[in-house]
Amino acid sequence: MGSVEWDRDLAEVYDAMYADQFASDAADAMVEVLAELAGDGPVLELAVGTGRIALPLAAKGVDVHGIELSRHMVQQLRAKRGGGAIPVAVGDMTTARVAGRFSLVYLVANTIMNVTTQDEQLMVFANAAEHLEDGGCFVVEVVVPQLHAIPPGERSRVFTLEPNHVGIETLDDRVGQIAWSHHWMSVDGRLVQHSAPYRYVWPSELDLMARINGFRLRDRWADWQRSTFTESSTTQVAVFEKVSSVDQPVR
């Protein structure tokens, strides 16, 4: 299926749809961690979207670049104050390249799952490695699959039931790890229906993708406050460090 691309209708309401997830206190913690990991170097955000993280990170003095598949999302970024100053390459994060080397590449908000095959998720890690200097970090924020929440014999669950948002997840291919996320939302008086596939990925699977592409796991937290990751954690923030070619084991 390849990578999921947001169309114009979704891009126009995207920030309003996910306003709670990116409220200032939640975004502040993320920006603080990313700025610390970046140090003095430039950073690259894969799937930069409307700039919800890139803009506040740039406001802290970090040199931020982006890759984004959807031209419509980039248009929303450009319409914001400071959005025109962030260089963005329009293309698929599995293959799109930008000039230079970076101290940090990051991919947040579950967006690794918008790449819907394992081979292409591996390509995301490979592309991140190509952009990073030795010792640089690739940060991935993604949910931990919650298959146990679906009752035996069922193939779907309601994961959100609120006055302005109903969300239903359907498991469509357990072998390929493909599920669909279906949303019905009221956004600024407008009814928005959105459905898209995603490929869920396990923590151990992320680690193997990283090792194949010359990374080692440096940290894994349950959230951006760096809470300890446990077997009951529902989200993860994984920090992978690019290993110098001279330090990589001989195969």
How far apart (Å, rounded) are the C-alpha atoms in residues 136 and 129?
A: 9
What tens-digit pLDDT sequence spans the chain (251 residues)?
A: 556 665 667 766 666 666 666 666 778 999 999 999 999 999 999 999 999 999 999 999 999 999 999 999 999 999 999 999 999 999 999 999 999 999 999 999 999 999 999 999 999 999 999 999 999 999 999 999 988 888 888 889 998 898 888 999 999 999 999 999 998 988 778 888 889 899 999 999 999 999 999 999 999 999 999 999 999 999 999 999 999 865 665 45
Q: What is the CATH number of domain 8-144+201-242?
A: 3.40.50.150
Q: Of 242, 20, 2, which is closest to residue 139 (Cα–Cα)?
A: 242
Report which DSSP code applies to 3.
B
- The residues, any chain, with a CB within 8 Å of residue 148's CB and separated by 6 or more, are none
Q: Three-state DSSP class for 32?
A: helix
SS (H, E, C) 149-195: HCCCCCCEEEEEEECCEEEEEEEEECCCCEEEEEEEEEECCEEEEEE
Task: Give the model's pLDDT for residue 42.
Answer: 98
How far apart (Å, rounded) are the C-alpha atoms in residues 94 and 121?
A: 7
Report which DSSP code applies to 100.
S
Q: Three-state DSSP class for 30?
A: helix
Is the separation of the CB atoms in 150 and 156 below 8 Å?
A: yes
Is the separation of the CB atoms in 183 and 167 below 8 Å?
A: yes
Q: For the chain, what are the domain ranges?
A: 8-144+201-242, 147-196
